[in-house]
A and B are shown apart, each in its own frame.
Chain A
Amino acid sequence: MKQEILHIPTPFGEPLVLYKNRWGPLDGEGLSIVSGLQGDRLNGMMVASRLSRFLNDIESGRETGYQIRGNIQIFPIVNYKAWETGNPVWNFDSQDVDLTFPGMEVGELTETICNTVIRHTAESDYGIVVQSAEKHYDDAPHVQLIEPNRKRRNLARSLGLAVGREVSENPALVLNLAKRWDLMGLHPFILSAGKPQTYQPQYCDLLVDGIVNFMRSQGLLTPTREKGSQREMAFFDAEHECPVLTREAGLFYSEIEVGTAVDKGQKLGEVRDLYEGGLLEEVPAPEKGFVVTLREYPMVHEQECVAVVLRENHRRGFWPFG
């Protein structure tokens, strides 16, 4: 049920109120689902809304056949102020919320919001962030894992997505919600699908189904799901990611779809001159693999990343893209 988690008066009008939805027994195994860390990632917000409706329907008896056994929370919107502007960050502080965790109990607004989310999720066992690709890119639906040990890879499989990917270590990761959860002892997962500023129903269907599968597999929802019915997932270590860079600056025309398998040397797209339209280069796949990220915005600099290919030959698990 909808619960207020933060109430801050604003200087000029209505207060800023953040909510979470919560279902199930407080002493049950806990799952927190967070979306809206950036103000332009619509798929996550739509997934959160649909899951909330589904869980409300179970609780009210409209959706029969399920029972809620876990302590499930959904935080549909975190970066409230950025959502008001439709931008990834709030222009008032230019602060990426996902580089602000754990925040501060008493601090600037963004810090206070981050700290509130941390406090409300601290007792969970699992955390799921739902997001889209970064600005100018499109992501095939996949799950990202921090410190991907065997247990986490098994948990990730129950999310029902075909691709899992290790999140690379970097010094800024410590400011990330998922990494904070990891440090707090939760099992964190980041689900990414699609592109910013766009609602993509087919991707949201996949993510909703995946999260429901996860809840059933972990016994947060009953009836539980048969272990054997889990989908296979190809998992890729961070060092097996191949960023594809342009050689020339110009307009990038993609010739493939994100989420497809490609052969080494296969043409991914081409770069053409802005002023005269002439062909400057053809961009080939550097390896045989799976295109997990593809450039959406056509203007590119020299050496700009236009795709990320997950290299096939080092996959772990079943290769489902043949």
Chain B
Amino acid sequence: MKTQTLFSRNSPLGAPLKVIRQTFSAHQGKPARRLSFVSGLHGDEMEGLYLCHRLIQALRRIKDTRPEEFLGEVHVYPAANPAALNHGTRLWPFYGSDMNRMMGPHPGKSLPVQLAQEVFDDIQEHSDMAVDIHASNLHLNELPQIRIIEEFGEELLPLARQTHTGIIWIHPMAGVFESTLGYNLNKLGIPTLVIETGICLRIEPETVDRLFQGMMHLLVEQGVLASLPEGIPPLPASRVVYPGEVAQACAKHSGLFISRAHLGQPVSEDEIIGQVVDPVAGVVLEQVTAPGAGLLFTLREQPVVHAGALLARVARDLEPRP
């Protein structure tokens, strides 16, 4: 494994600000394929860091014992936004900058822009394919899923299936994606899968273990590794969810959302999944029901809600439930 610093700026306090890339090169000659994993663009999303740890740990073991397994090259960027990670905040706190809204051509020269551009350029230079790993924000808990913008669906769906991630959600384009890492790499012809899983500031080891296994499958399917390492089991196929198949429940009132459901459970249409209550008056403002029959793959964790807030998403059943 080769450790390289792709971005470094001295700080007035002493320790420099650095972004590191870990590289596992091909055993012989030109790599068959170069695959990059990126995490930590938002400094409060921890699941990706642990997934990178699992990947680096496993790849180091393979490199040490069976280096001939590396037909291609793997790059891991475990902590792409160290200034935010050091403080456990989504944004780079000193500037209040969101690193995943600064990707693509950007004219500015602020430090966050410099970092975003140098990380972006480095990934572009070293990758034939990339995986950008995110946890959810403070509010929502998500089942592990790969999100694909509709316009990239044809190219990315076969690649996403190779990860065996539970859900692959193909969703419409929105303006908010235009400045993200995933969108801009895809626009440049570097297929990039975006993972969303869990909730920020938490790590669910079992979930990450499963994602790790999926990423090992991807490395083999992409010809980066010759074979699956010992202990990686076959995995079930992903469920692909298309835009019309997602139903949302939003709060009609402001209050506290008290969940009565569990992420990942099947729900029936109109089944009660929680309540919005008024903590001051002691009254129940509304019963929250499932917006359709299907799999509950997004569920509100932060209980404080204003009217209109997203509470749950359901991937609708394609066949009526018996």
Contact = CB atoms under 8 A, between A and B. Distances in A.
Interface of A: 8-13, 16, 87-89, 92-94, 96, 99, 102, 104, 106-109, 111-112, 134-136, 168-172, 174-175, 238, 241, 243, 245, 248-251, 274, 299-305
A304 B107 contact: no
Contact of B12 (A13, A106, A299): A299
Given A9-B253, A171-B178, A172-B178, A250 B304 contact: no
B310 interface: yes
Interface of B: 9-13, 16-17, 89-91, 94-96, 98, 101-111, 114, 137-139, 175-176, 178-179, 183-184, 250, 253-256, 278-280, 304-310
25 contacts: A8-B306, A9-B253, A11-B305, A89-B96, A92-B138, A94-B89, A96-B96, A99-B98, A104-B308, A106-B250, A108-B308, A136-B94, A170-B179, A171-B105, A171-B178, A172-B178, A175-B175, A175-B179, A248-B10, A251-B12, A301-B17, A302-B10, A302-B16, A305-B110, A305-B111
A122 to B, nearest CB: 17
A1 B111 CA distance: 43
Contacts of A9: 253-254, 306-307
B114 A11 contact: no
A171 B254 contact: no
A242 B166 CA distance: 48
Contact of A109 (B106, B178, B184, B309): B309
Q: Which of B9, B10, B102 has the most CB of A within 10 A?
A: B10
Contact of A108 (B95, B98, B104, B309): B309
B306 A168 contact: no
Contacts of B138: 92-94
A11 B256 contact: yes
Given A171-B106, A174-B175, 8 more contacts: A12-B279, A108-B308, A136-B95, A169-B105, A170-B179, A171-B104, A174-B178, A302-B10
Nearest to A252: B12
Contacts of B90: 94
Contacts of A16: 306
A274 B91 CA distance: 26
Nearest to A273: B12
A85 to B, nearest CB: 12
Nearest to A81: B306
Given A13-B280, A106-B250, A301-B12, A172 B306 contact: no
A303 B12 contact: no
**CB-CB nearest 5 A-B residue pairs:** A243-B109, A168-B107, A172-B179, A171-B179, A249-B10
A106 B279 CA distance: 23
Q: Which of A13, A134, A248, A304 has the most CB of B within 10 A?
A: A304
A131 B308 CA distance: 28
Contacts of A300: 12
Contacts of B89: 94
B107 A170 contact: yes
Contacts of A251: 12
Contacts of B139: 93, 108
A303 B179 contact: no
A225 to B, nearest CB: 34
A172 B255 contact: no
Contacts of A96: 96, 98, 101
A100 to B, nearest CB: 8
A86 B138 CA distance: 21
A99 B101 contact: yes
A250 B12 contact: yes
Contact of A172 (B9, B10, B96, B101): B101
A303 B9 contact: yes
A274 B15 CA distance: 13
Nearest to A112: B308
Contact of A175 (B9, B95, B109, B176): B176
Nearest to B95: A135
Contacts of A241: 107
Q: Which of A16, A300, A301, A305 has the most CB of B within 10 A?
A: A301
A13 to B, nearest CB: 7
Contacts of A245: 109
Contacts of A299: 12-13
B284 to A, nearest CB: 14
A42 B306 CA distance: 27
B11 A301 contact: yes
Contacts of A304: 9, 111
Contacts of B309: 107-109
A266 to B, nearest CB: 20
Contact of B111 (A12, A93, A169, A303): A303
A165 B11 CA distance: 31
